[in-house]
Structure 1
Amino acid sequence: MIRAILADAAYLIGPNRRSYVLALAWTAGIASSLTLLNPLTTRWIFDVAVPERRFGLLVGVATAATITFSGIRWLDYQSQLYQQRLTNRMVSGLTQRLMEAYYRLPVNTVATQDQGYYVARTMTEVQDTAGPVMGIGAGLLRSAATLVTALGTVLLLSWQLTLVLLVVTPLLLLLSRYFARRLGGDAREVQEQTARQQAVHTHAVGAYRAVRTFSLERRAVTHLMDAVGQRLNALYTLSKTTGLYGTLSRMSLGLTEFTVLTAGGYAVMTTSLTLGSLMAYMGAYWLAVNAVQNLIDLIPQVGVLQAQTERLREITATPPRQELRFSTELTWNNVSCGLGSVPALQDVSLDIPAGARVLVRGANGAGKSTLMLTALGLLEPRTGTVSRPALTSGLIEPFVFPALTLADLLGEDARAEPLIAELGMTELMNRRFTDLSLGQRKKFVLVMTVLREADLYVFDEPLANLDDQAQETVFRLLLERTVGRTLLVVLHGADQFLDHFDHVLEVEGGTARLHTHTPGSSALPLGIRSAILTPPVSATPAG
């Protein structure tokens, strides 16, 4: 168990091990100093200064104790600040590791949950897990140092009274270990239900316009409250277990306190213990009792922390290596794929030659986007295999980018400036993607796609939401920038575009068929002038 706890701690602490050990040592030193000085000062005052009526000694001891304790408290304050800075570093580092691991997760794994779910897993759970690591570790060591120092002190003062504490403490620690396992499972369930509620909540808030427009308030709120209820039930179970544990431990400590007080009073009455020694003993004893109480409170929290750490490890664990098949051609071999319980496409077998320009057609919901996701490697087939070029570029609706400005998304790519200027987006570079109109978003996706060097390019409805002039420019750039590379373009009502493609991919009825097309049999679309468009190019793929 100890080895597992240390392994989890090392995982959460990351590269901050030296700083963490320093923080723990700092805390232990402060705890031991306070625990030792407090009862000794009390005994010195009431067994020496007061009986001998030495007022000067009394004032001197009190003054020295005040100065010493104030200095230690100031050091304790500085220790807390150091711990908070260290906690911030651990949370920051773990968040970075979780997000980097998230982007490495298998695409089918990510597709099983909503955005809000993974926000909870990579943000909320990181804070809830890494945040308490410093506090729990420091609390355990502070309590342990206090308990050891206090026990040494009370043993020197009266070993008979100390036996009561030595008997009860192991029993309480066994009780804490039993409840730690139960609390760990309960805490894990709370985190899972919290992540699920956050996913539902994210959808509910994001659907504001749809809810208002279509009067979906009752259904939306009912769905949300179901998720809230499951999370609150999990919280109640955790609270119930925590409360039972706290009640039993405090009942045991209460009995111990009563026994020690009775025995201490009897010792004074029989003159086997001086008043100063009794006061010093009780001061050290209460410090020991508080340390035991803190330990039995913190040990179950370690179990909770282990359960939370296990959930974080699920994301950062190296996923099983997927067999990648690369080739110059794009091939589907007996592929079945889809995001729902029923595959959108079944037994698809296609062979698209390198450098082909393919128009993808099909009704809404036919499976065009699903097929394009497999082409880009963003969706793994359930059965069969997909072989694709190693370098691919493209996005499938809905388009989502990180919350950076367009300039930051583009980076220091000198090729972007003329493209941006030609598309009339120069003045938009300080905006974020979500601030753009639908047409502007299409243009930016085109820029991001063609700037990436690839052997396969995929475009999903690149002309939607564009006026005639913008369609001219976008379609021309699309063709010019992908010469000699394999090109897949999804378009609705695309008969007028056939002259610019040498293959047509029909997606219908859960399957897909590839046809060869001979240019020259179709009219150019209205608004796209033949003088501007380049004719189809037969070229070999770039090496």
Structure 2
Amino acid sequence: MKRLMFIIGKNKIRFLWLSIAGFILDVIISMTNPLIIKILIDRGIIGKNVRFFVIFTLIAFLFFTLYRLGMLWYSLSFRKLKNITIKDITLKQLDAYYKFPYKEIIKNDTGHYLSRIYDESSAATELTLSTFSQLFISIAAFIGSFCVALYLSWRVTVILIVIIPPIYLLSQKFSAKITQKSKKEKSKEAKVRNLLGRLIDAYKNIKIFNLYDIANNKINDYFDKYLMVFYSRFKISNLFSTYSGILISSQELIILAVTGYEVMKGRMTIGGLMGYMNAFSMVVMNALAIVKTIPTLSKIKGDVNRLIEFRNIGNKVNQLSEKNSGNIKLNKLKFAYDSSKTIFSDLNFEAKKGEKILVIGDNGSGKSTFIHILLNLLHPSEGKAELYSIERISALTLPFYFIPGSLKDNVNYNNLSNERKDMFYTLLEKISLKGYEDKDPSSFSTGERQKCAIIMTLIKNADLYIFDEPIANVDKKSKDPIMEMILKYTERKTLIVILHGEEKYYKKFDSIFNI
């Protein structure tokens, strides 16, 4: 039940009312259907009362039509609930993703997180709500039909009770195994998606370097592992369903023999027999439906546990404390991505408020890692640091990604002050992007996207500005205006810029930090 509450979240009341409505509808239909059959046969057919038969048939037709319309409303309403819940869960998982430690983010590619955020959320929500909806309906129909079966013949119904203990024991035997297999299945599936995403991204290199065989072998191996776990879970679930089905089929034969004996003894009418068999078939059908949900409930437990684990990763973030002196200080910092890849063993750095610092270094020296430490996205294992919170920092880091929408959307134009709005249009004009403000940057050239990234970084009112190779990928005539623009609009603010080459700009900075 905890997993169900996790999935439905703020939609609890709506789910409750729909469940009650579905429960009532199925209790009513499961109780009235056998009784209608009994009455039609005993009083209409056997009693040869044509007038009663016709009138009662029309009433039954009207009743069943209203029931179908009620179920149509229920089905459509439940679909709406599913849609809303999928959106809510996905957005919550996305929000959790934004709280992840950056060190955790870079372990996997986009395909992995698409799977964890949307695919798993959608699948778990669909499965959970469909299963519990069907479970409540099956329980309602079971209760209704069982009560009618008791009313028509309590002797025969007692035999039904024999089936309950074996089914319960079977469910306990298989439940834990299915939960474990389901969780492992989702983990393997995410790895397959992760690998597929990387192979898709590597399209050009696979063709250029003829890596088809290696790529296919990699994905083939991952698929085998995933499908083996999937088959194992499927096998356990179906074994459980088969064993319980055999048990209930045996019960059906016994019931048929006993009801026939009751008719021959005169303790049950033909209409009662037909009504009882209808009630019994509903008891069996809904008992089977309830039994089949038990393995599914175990799978739901594993699926929802993965969603919970994903959401809890963000709680592990421990940001370095912010100091308000305005200076940035890193003292004897140690940082490693893992035990075999130490980036900094004794990093020391200081930037005074308003200072303009140029950062240089060879490829692989740790310039990007250094930037991400300043952004409070990567956290050293040792040392002391005085940093700004990310809310007080504006940064251009590579690669630079834009959210879907126009350039105005990306700078949050509607929330800018009038002064910043004027500045936005001034910057557009300065770097030849006038008229681009309502277009999606994803359609721009590489150089135009770089200019958009610079505008976004400058538009934010921050205390610290960081630019990672701001004039990379731009045309030669734009480099000087861009550097002048960066220096002008960050006056009296702390500025840190990474440049690769471009020595003519070095003298414009207060100091140079060589990593």
Specify the TM-score bucket, using the shorter chain as the normaliser: over 0.9
Selected match of 1:427 from 424, 435, 438: 435
The alignment status of 1:64 with 2:35, answered yes or no, reads no
- What does 1:144-293 correspond to in 2, within 5 Å? 144-293=139-288
- The worse-fitting range, judged by mean Cα deviation, of 120-129 and 397-406 is 397-406
Distance 1:433 1:479, change over 3 A: same
Q: Does the CA-based 8 Å contact 2:142-2:282 persist in structure 1? A: yes
SS at match of 1:113: coil
Tell me if the contact between 1:456 and 1:485 (Cα under 8 Å) persists in the aligned partners.
Answer: yes
5+ residue gaps in structure 2? Answer: none
Q: Cα distance, 1:174 vs. partner?
A: 3.5
**C-alpha deviation, 1:323, in angstroms:** 4.5
> 2:467 & 2:219 partners in 1: Cα distance?
36
Equivalent position amino acid for 1:336 in 2: K
Over 3 Å counting, the alpha-carbon distance change for 1:476 and 1:382 in structure 2 is: same
The answer for the alignment partner of 2:497 in structure 1 is 489
Q: Distance in 2 between matches of 1:168 and 1:215?
A: 62
Post-superposition shift, 1:171? 2.5
Q: Say which is worse superposed, 251-260 or 178-187, in terms of deviation.
A: 178-187
Amino acid at match of 1:402: I
Query: In the alignment, what sits opposite 1:379?
Result: 378
Deviation at 1:447, TM superposition (A): 0.8
The structure with more helix, counted as a fraction of residues: 2
Secondary structure of 2:341's aligned partner: coil
Query: Relative to structure 1, is the Cα distance of residues 96 and 419 closer, same or farther in structure 2, using a 3 angstrom cutoff?
Result: same
From 319, 327, 330, give the equivalent of 1:329. 327
2:465 alignment partner, SS class: strand
CA distance in 2 between counterparts of 1:320 and 1:249 reads 44
* CA-CA distance at 1:156 after TM superposition: 1.1
Measured in 1, the distance between the counterparts of 2:329 and 2:212 equals 46
Q: CA deviation at 1:432?
A: 2.9
Aligned partner of 1:99 in structure 2 is 94
* One-letter amino acid of the structure 1 residue matched with residue 457 of structure 2: T
**1:410 pairs with 2:400:** no
Q: Secondary structure at the match of 2:271?
A: helix
**Cα distance in 2 between the residues matched to 1:224 and 1:453:** 46
Normalised TM-score (structure 1):
0.89
Could you tell which deviates more after superposition, 211-220 or 185-194?
211-220
2:362 alignment partner AA: A
Q: Which residue of 2 aligns with 1:396?
A: 397
Asked if 1:466 is matched to 2:448, the reply is: no
Give, in whole Å, the separation in 1 of the partners of 2:171 and 2:444: 56
What corresponds to 2:344 in structure 1? 345
* Gap regions ≥5 residues in structure 1: 508-543
* Letter matched to residue 326 of structure 1: E
Cα drift, residue 350 of structure 1? 2.0
Query: Deviation per CA, 1:25-54, whole angstroms, max 9, x where unpaired?
Result: 111111111111111011112222222211
Deviations 1:188-218 (A, max 9, x none): 1111111111111111112212222222222
Taking structure 2 as the reference length, what is the TM-score of the superposition?
0.94
- Which residue type is aligned with residue 334 of structure 1? K
How big is the shift at 1:374? 0.6
The one-letter amino acid of 1:59's match is V
**Contact 2:359–2:496 (8 Å) recurs in 1:** yes
State how far apart, in whole Å, the 1-side matches of 2:236 and 2:384 are.
49
Amino acid across the alignment from 1:335: L
Secondary structure (helix, strand or coil) at the match of 1:146 reads helix
Paired with 2:229 and 2:183, the residues of 1 have a C-alpha distance of 9
Count of aligned positions:
502
Match in the other structure for 1:366:
365
The sequence identity of aligned pairs, in percent, is 25
Output the amino acid matched with 2:463: D
Amino acid in structure 1 at the alignment position of 2:452? F
Superimposed CA distance per residue, residues 450-504 of structure 1 (whole angstroms, 9 cap, x where no aligned partner): 1112221111111112222200111001111111222111111143222111211
1:46 to 35, 41, 44: 41
Give the C-alpha shift of residue 336 in structure 1. 2.1
Deviation per CA, 1:404-430, whole angstroms, max 9, x where unpaired? 222211222313121112111123334
